[in-house]
Structure 1
């Protein structure tokens, strides 16, 4: 298992290096008028040149890259060109907001998907058709419309939860949960539909295999066959789907943060791209690819635990 993990970790580090290098040369080589954007249209050419020199943008791009890379190795992602705030500090302040919503959404997604998928595969008939219909409607229903509807019903009319903002967990765990549950539901609804269908399909295939017939002939209970054997063997495809959904949730975080006025990672990524804030863009990219590597590595580990043969593949 240790060799397996080291192999996955090495591949992940290479991926991070390649993606961040490509991102750096694409952003810094795109000739974005950073100094002009900071100073405004009325700044003179001399002022623009002076700021470019101050920011190091007049140096050869390879020198800029190796300087940035050296900083990353030391934990320094540079400072924002517009706010002068360290990028690492800005990400550290905003990530807990997005992670709060994404983690709750991921928990809802995996829990509801397993329950719905298992019920649909095990019961079949009317229950299967009903759950499939609900999943289809949930998958195609626009998340933004659902978010506005939930805010109107539960926050404005019933006043059960706050309409906007995030209560820090350290300040009030109950207040924190109330402030993240609505955006988490909106973020999870499409994922539940897709993952439940994936689990249901994989589980139906597993229940038709010969080993299931053998277990039944030996008198093993249906519950044990379903949960201990078939579900474990069917979990691989579900894990892959869930990993993609978890990563996608960060991409969708911008829309959720706009609806519920949450200043998180998605908002920071959007503003850095709009402003052409190169250090912030690179910090966002570094975190994004790092997230992909970590999530895929955890999925590989989980799949290797479920299916030991995968460790040697």
Structure 2
């Protein structure tokens, strides 16, 4: 198990290095107008040249990149080029909102999708048809469309929830719940049936295995077979699907945060990218990659614990 974990960690480190280098390189080719964006259109060429020298934009790409890496390894990710806010501070202020939205959503998706998937596999009938049709509809309708519909009905028409986020520094639990309920519902509706379909397929595959027939021949009840044996064997497929859904949310949540005006990482990343605020963009990228690595590692470890064959792959 130790070697399995070390291999996964090594793969994560390689992923972090590659994505960091590629992102910084791409940002380098789009950094020609950053100094003008900071100083405004009225700035002279001399002022722009001085600002570029101050930010290090006049240095070659390798020098800039390795200088940034050296500082990052010391825990210094720099400050925003536009408002001077420390990158770490910006991430700490925004990350809890986004992670809360994502974690609550994926936990609810896991619970509901597992229940629907097992029922569809065991009972078939109308539950099975609902899951399959819902999976097609959920994939066809973008999450932001569902979000807009929810805002129009539950926020504008019925005024049950606020149309935009009321989360601010120091806001209480009530503001968080009211602001995140609609986006959580939108994510769950968008993801739950497609996840349930994958879990359904995994459960059906396990129900067709010889060990299930053996358990039935011993007189073991269907409920015990499904809960104690089938679900354990089908869990790796379900965990993989849910991990992909979670990682996909890292991109989808950007649009939802814009729809609901949620002050999360998505809004931070979009604003920094538009302005060309490279320190903020790099901070968001590093945090995002670390989240992906941690999620993949946890899923791999869970799959390895459930299925020893995975450790040898």
Same fold (TM over 0.5): yes
**Contact 1:147 1:186 survives alignment (8 Å):** yes
Matched, 1:33 2:33: yes
Distance apart, 1:166 and its partner CA: 4.0
> Could you list the per-position Cα deviations for residues 158-190 of structure 1 after superposition, in whole angstroms to 9, with x for gaps in the alignment?
333222214479753344223211101112222
CA contact (8 A) 2:113 2:195 kept: yes
Residue number in structure 1 paired with 2:59: 59
Decide whether the 8 Å contact of 2:134 with 2:194 is kept in 1: no
1:298, CA displacement in angstroms?
Answer: 0.8
Distance in 1 between the 2:275 and 2:138 partners?
Answer: 35
Task: Quote the residue 1:72 is aligned against.
Answer: 72
Change (3 A) 1:37 1:172: closer
Which residue is 1:280 aligned to? 280
**SS of the residue 1:57 aligns to:** coil
Render the CA deviation track for 1:226-278: whole Å, top value 9, x for unaligned: 12111211122221121111011121112111221112101111111111111
Partner of 2:9: 9
Q: Secondary structure at the match of 1:32?
A: coil
Report the 3-state secondary structure (helix = DSSP H, G, I; strand = E; otherwise coil) of the residue aligned with 1:84: coil
2:267 aligned counterpart, secondary structure: helix
SS at match of 2:75: coil
Residue 289 (1) aligns with residue 289 (2): yes
Q: Which runs of 5+ in 1 are unaligned?
A: none
Name the SS of the counterpart of 2:154 in structure 1.
helix
2:224 maps to: 224
Provide the C-alpha distance between the structure 2 equivalents of 1:290 and 1:115, rounded to a whole number of angstroms: 30
User: Does the 8 Å contact 1:169/1:176 carry over to 2?
Assistant: no
Rounded to whole Å, the distance in 2 between the matches of 1:37 and 1:169 is 28
How many Å apart are 1:284 and its aligned residue? 1.6
Residue 136 of structure 1: aligned partner? 136
CA contact (8 A) 2:105 2:184 kept: yes
Partner of 1:162: 162
The aligned residue for residue 83 of structure 2 is 83
In the alignment, what sits opposite 1:151? 151
- Supply the distance in 1 between the matched residues of 2:183 and 2:46 (Cα, whole angstroms): 48
1:48 Cα deviation after fit:
0.7
The 8 Å contact of residues 31 and 276 in structure 2, kept in 1 or not, is answered as no
Secondary structure of the structure 2 residue equivalent to 1:12: helix
SS at match of 1:305: helix
RMSD of the alignment, in Å?
Answer: 1.9
Instruction: Evaluate the alpha carbon distance shift between residue 169 and residue 238 of structure 1 in structure 2; reply closer, same or farther with a 3 A threshold.
Output: farther
1:105 counterpart = 2:108: no
Which is further off, 29-38 or 246-255? 29-38
**Aligned-pair distance for 1:64?**
1.3
- When the two structures are aligned, how many residues end up with a matched partner? 313
Aligned match of 2:182:
182
The question of whether the paired residues in 1 share the 8 Å contact of 2:253 and 2:266 is answered with yes
| CA–CA separation in structure 1 for the residues paired with 2:142 and 2:46 | 50
The residue number in structure 1 matching 2:311 is 311
What TM-score do the two structures reach when normalised by structure 2? 0.94
| Contact 1:203-1:231 at 8 Å conserved across structures | yes
Deviation at 1:301, TM superposition (A): 0.8
Q: Compared with structure 1, are the counterparts of its residues 179 and 285 closer, same or farther at alpha carbon in structure 2 (3 Å cutoff)? A: same
Contact preservation (8 Å) 2:116, 2:127:
no
Q: Could you report, residue by residue, the CA deviation over 1:213-233 in whole angstroms, capped at 9, with x for unpaired residues?
A: 111111111111112111211
Q: Which 10-residue stretch deviates more, 70-79 or 4-13? A: 4-13
**Judging changes above 3 Å, is the alpha-carbon distance between structure 1 residues 170 and 272 closer, same or farther for their aligned structure 2 residues?**
closer
1:169–1:175 Cα contact (<8 Å) kept: no
Using the TM superposition, give the Cα deviation of residue 30 of structure 1 relative to its aligned residue in structure 2, in angstroms. 4.1
